[in-house]
C-alpha cells in the first residue's frame, strides 16, 4: 500500500514524515482485527485514520459508524451505543438497536473516547473482550462482531492515574497506538494546506484565491496553531470572505491571528497551560517566602553571635526541590534548611521564626501589586504574574479585589 495513493484517495494534504508514518501505520494494521487508539490534539485530523483502517480491512464492505462520545449526554449514551428495550426508561416507546448492533460485521469509530462515563466503560470493555453486550432494560446478552477504532485528545495515562478512565480498558483499546501530529509539528505542510483551503474557498465564493506575501508566509509558518488544521481552515475562510485585496500581507494576517499569549492552548500532560502557570506561580510564592525566612534566620544567627547583620541576596533561580517539606515541626512554625546548610552551633539557642504561610494572602498581595503597577490593565497584569487573563479575572472575583 502506497502512502501517496492513500493520501490521494482520502484527500490528505501534507508531506511531513510524521504524517506519513501515521498513515502507514493505519494501513499496516488495517488487515488485522486489533483495536486501534489514535491520539492527537483537537483539530489535527484524527477522523481520517479510522476511515483508512476500515477501507483497507476485510470489513470494508461492512458498515462504518462514527460516534462522537463527547456529544452524547451521559444519561443516553448507553442506549445509543448498546440499544434499549421498550419501556426501559421514560420515552422508550419502542425497542431500538444500538450502534454496536448496527455495526455488526463492520467498524465503529469512537471519537473522544476519553469522555465516556465509567459505567459505559465497563460495558465497552465487555464488548471488546467477549463480543457481548446487553441492551438497556434487558437481561439477555447479544453477540456482535465489530472492529473498534478509538480516538482522543486526552492524555489517557493521566486520565487513568486520576481514575476517570479504566486502566484495563485503556490497554485493551491501545493495542495499536497511532499518533497524529499537531500542525505545528508539520511546519512544511502549513502553506500547502493554506493554498488548498484558499482554492476551496475561491471555488465556493466564486472569487480569486487569496495568496500570501513571503513575509506573511513566514509568519503563518511560525505561528503555534493551537486549533490545528481546523483553525487554519477557519482563518482562510474568514480572509476569503472579508478581504478585498487578494494578496495578504503581514499586517492583515496579524489581524486574523489571535495573540499566542491569550490563545487557547491544547491540553498537555500537566493539565494545560493554565494549571502549569498557576503551579509555577505558587512555586514562586513559596520560594519568595522561603528566601525571606532564610535571610531572617541568617540575621538572627549573626545577632546571637555578635556579628554584623549580613545582606543576603536572592538567588537568581528557584528549584522545585527547595520546597521539599522538612521534618515535622511544631504547628505554626517553620524550620527551613537550604541544601548544604549545617545545624546551628550547639551553644547558640535555636530560634524558630513564626510566619504566616497563607498562599491566599500572598496571592492577593501579588495580584494587587500587579494591578496597581499596570493601572488595572488585566492583560498586562496577567502577563506579569505568569497566568492567563481568565485565571486573573477568576482570582479577582474570588478574592473580592476591587
pLDDT tens across the length of the chain (402 residues) = 689 999 999 999 999 999 999 999 999 999 999 999 999 999 999 999 999 999 999 999 999 999 999 899 888 999 999 999 888 888 878 889 999 999 999 999 999 999 999 999 999 999 999 999 999 988 899 999 999 999 999 999 999 999 999 999 999 999 999 999 999 999 999 999 999 999 999 999 899 999 999 999 999 999 999 999 999 999 999 999 998 899 999 999 999 998 765 444 444 433 443 334 455 556 566 666 777 777 777 777 767 666 665 554 444 443 333 333 434 434 444 444 444 444 444 443 444 434 444 567 777 888 888 888 888 888 888 877 777 777 787 788 778 887
- 138 Cβ contact partners less than 8 Å away, ≥ 6 residues apart: 84, 85, 88
pLDDT at 320: 36
**What is the C-alpha separation between 370 and 377, in angstroms, rounded?**
9
Cell numbers 517566602: residue: 289
Q: Can you give the three-state secondary structure of 209-223, one letter per residue?
A: CCEECHHHHHHHHHC
Q: What is the CATH number of domain 3-181?
A: 3.40.50.300
Residue 401 per-residue DSSP state: -
Was domain 184-256 assigned CATH 3.80.10.10?
Answer: no
Which string of DSSP letters, residue by residue, matches 133-162? Answer: EE-BT---EEE---EEEEEESS-HHHHHHH
Residue 344: C-alpha distances to residues 51, 59, 148, 185 (Å): 70, 76, 65, 54
In order, the DSSP letters of 223-235 are: S--TTHHHHHHHH
Out of 1.25.10, 3.30.1490, 3.30.390, 1.10.10, which CATH number does the structure's domain 359-399 have?
1.10.10
pLDDT of residue 366: 82
**Burial class of residue 97 (count of CB atoms within 10 Å of its CB; 0-12, 13-18, 19+):** middle
The separation between CA 346 and the C-alpha centre of its own chain, rounded to angstroms, equals 53
Do residues 183 and 44 lie in contact, with contact meaning Cβ atoms separated by under 8 Å?
yes
Output phi, psi for 282, to 5 deg: -65, -40
- The distance from CA 77 to its chain's CA centroid, rounded to whole angstroms, is 24
Q: Are 121 and 150 in contact (CB under 8 A)?
A: no
Would you kindly state where each structural domain of the chain is located, as residue ranges? 3-181, 184-256, 286-341+349-355, 359-399
Q: Residue 116: phi, psi to the nearest 5?
A: -65, 135
End-to-end, the C-alpha distance of the chain in Å comes to 65
C-beta separation of 58 from 41 below 8 A: no
Q: How far apart are CA 186 and CA 22, in angstroms?
A: 12
Query: Taking a C-beta distance cutoff of 8 angstroms, is the pair 378, 371 a contact?
Result: yes
Long-range contacts of range 273-282, CB-CB < 8 Å, 24 or more positions apart?
A: 273/388, 274/387, 274/388, 274/390, 274/391, 277/386, 277/387, 277/388, 277/391, 278/387, 278/391, 280/386, 281/363, 281/366, 281/385, 281/386, 281/387, 282/359
**pTM higher than 0.75, yes or no?**
no
Residue 222: its pLDDT value, please?
Answer: 93
Which residues 6+ apart lie within 8 Å of 229 measured at CB? 43, 44, 45, 183, 193
**What is the spatial distance between Cα 78 and Cα 88, in angstroms, rounded to a whole number?**
12
Contact 42, 153 (CB under 8 A): yes
Predicted pLDDT of residue 287: 64
Structure-block grid coordinates of residue 164? 476517570
Distance CA 124, CA 102 (A): 15
Q: Residue 147: is it exposed, middle or buried by C-beta count within 10 angstroms (0-12/13-18/19+)?
A: buried
Residues 6+ apart with CB under 8 A from 123: 78, 81, 82, 133, 134
Is residue 151 a contact partner of residue 140, using CB atoms and an 8 Å limit? no
> Taking a C-beta distance cutoff of 8 angstroms, is the pair 168, 124 a contact?
no
Residue 56, C-alpha cell as written in the block: 483497507
**Between the CA atoms of 210, 212, 217 and 223, what dihedral angle is there, to the nearest 10 degrees?**
-50
* Residue 194, all three cell numbers: 493554506
Amino acid at each position: 500500500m502506497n502512502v501517496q495513493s492513500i493520501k490521494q484517495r482520502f484527500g490528505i494534504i501534507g508531506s511531513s514524515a510524521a504524517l506519513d508514518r501515521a498513515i502507514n501505520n493505519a494501513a499496516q494494521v488495517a488487515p488485522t482485527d486489533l483495536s486501534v487508539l489514535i491520539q492527537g490534539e483537537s483539530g489535527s485530523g484524527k477522523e481520517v485514520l479510522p476511515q483508512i483502517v476500515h477501507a483497507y480491512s476485510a470489513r470494508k464492505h461492512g458498515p462504518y459508524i462514527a460516534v462522537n462520545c463527547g456529544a452524547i449526554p451521559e444519561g443516553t449514551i448507553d442506549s445509543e451505543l448498546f440499544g434499549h428495550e421498550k419501556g426501559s426508561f421514560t420515552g422508550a416507546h419502542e425497542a431500538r438497536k444500538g450502534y454496536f448492533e448496527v455495526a455488526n460485521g463492520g467498524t465503529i469509530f469512537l471519537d473522544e473516547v476519553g469522555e465516556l462515563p465509567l459505567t459505559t466503560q465497563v460495558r465497552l470493555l465487555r464488548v471488546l473482550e467477549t463480543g457481548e453486550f446487553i441492551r438497556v432494560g434487558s437481561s439477555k446478552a447479544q453477540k456482535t462482531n465489530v472492529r473498534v477504532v478509538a480516538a482522543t485528545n486526552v492524555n489517557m495515562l493521566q486520565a487513568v492515574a486520576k481514575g476517570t478512565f479504566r486502566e484495563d480498558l485503556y490497554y485493551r483499546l491501545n493495542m495499536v497506538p497511532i499518533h497524529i501530529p499537531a500542525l505545528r509539528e508539520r511546519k512544511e505542510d502549513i502553506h500547502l494546506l493554506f493554498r488548498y483551503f484558499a482554492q476551496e474557498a475561491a471555488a465556493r465564493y466564486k472569487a480569486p484565491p487569496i495568496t500570501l506575501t513571503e513575509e506573511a508566509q513566514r509568519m503563518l509558518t511560525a505561528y503555534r496553531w493551537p486549533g490545528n488544521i481546523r483553525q487554519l481552515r477557519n482563518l482562510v475562510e474568514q480572509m476569503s470572505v472579508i478581504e478585498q485585496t487578494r494578496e495578504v500581507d503581514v499586517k492583515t494576517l496579524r489581524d486574523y491571528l489571535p495573540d499566542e499569549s491569550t490563545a487557547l492552548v491544547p491540553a498537555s500532560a500537566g493539565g494545560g497551560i493554565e494549571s502549569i502557570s498557576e503551579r509555577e506561580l505558587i512555586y514562586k510564592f513559596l520560594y519568595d517566602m522561603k528566601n525571606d525566612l532564610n535571610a531572617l534566620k541568617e540575621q538572627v544567627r549573626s545577632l546571637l553571635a555578635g556579628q554584623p547583620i549580613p545582606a543576603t541576596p536572592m538567588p537568581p533561580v528557584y528549584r522545585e526541590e527547595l520546597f521539599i517539606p522538612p521534618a515535622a515541626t511544631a504547628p505554626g512554625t517553620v524550620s527551613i534548611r537550604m541544601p548544604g546548610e549545617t545545624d546551628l552551633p550547639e551553644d547558640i539557642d535555636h530560634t524558630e521564626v513564626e510566619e504566616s504561610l497563607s498562599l491566599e494572602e500572598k496571592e492577593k498581595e501579588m495580584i494587587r501589586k500587579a494591578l496597581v503597577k499596570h493601572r488595572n490593565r488585566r492583560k498586562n497584569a496577567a502577563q506579569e504574574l505568569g497566568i492567563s487573563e481568565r485565571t486573573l479575572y477568576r482570582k479577582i472575583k474570588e478574592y473580592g479585589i476591587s
